[in-house]
A = this chain, B = another copy of it.
């Protein structure tokens, strides 16, 4: 029996674009149960002094080129570099959390990434924010109220604490049991581990 895979996703992470776009097909092909878990990766990274790209222009330039090449492999296209870093990362993920609880979170997250990487519109800010909510079939006024509530803010913090307790330090991360797989390039490893529980 395969184990479920927790997909710790944080809108604002660049490499997560690749995972968000290819996950549905990839997970289906692997017959994997993947649970989307929005969290605030920036809070963890700041706490852990893990600053991968700010003040690192060479590494940042590489990141965009690497994403572009990987996207070619996966048949994805985008206008790169996309705006980065995001101003409203936390709020974008509060909306994602509301959506995942109600069953439309994946559609919203995918739309947010499509607008961000396809059209250069920052997630978490208008007009992309409402557009991604509408794209997921929801009413922005209702959703934004819920996302702004202290309860949602507290739940995102609790989910972020849970991710940190599991050893998640970056996004995207895939967690199977006690095993953390970090990065879009570890998605296949995570799905494989979910099936077999080992590699050897």
Contacts and interface: CB of A to CB of B under 8 A. Distances in A.
Contacts of A66: 181-182, 186
Interface in A18-32: none
A72 B169 contact: no
Nearest to A199: B72
A61 B167 contact: yes
A195 B20 CA distance: 29
A58 B199 contact: no
A149 interface: no
A151 interface: no
A134 to B, nearest CB: 32
Contacts of A182: 62, 66
A56 B62 contact: no
B169 A58 contact: yes
A102 interface: no
Contact of A50 (B56, B73, B193, B200): B56
Given A50-B56, A62-B182, A180-B62, A69 B167 contact: no
A49 B56 contact: yes
A73 B188 CA distance: 12
A200 B72 contact: yes
Nearest to A55: B49
Interface string A168-198: 0110000000011110011001000100001
Contacts of A181: 66
A162 interface: no
B169 A59 contact: yes
Contacts of A48: 56, 58-59
Interface string A49-84: 110000110110110011001001101000000000
Nearest to A59: B169
Nearest to A183: B185
A199 B73 contact: yes
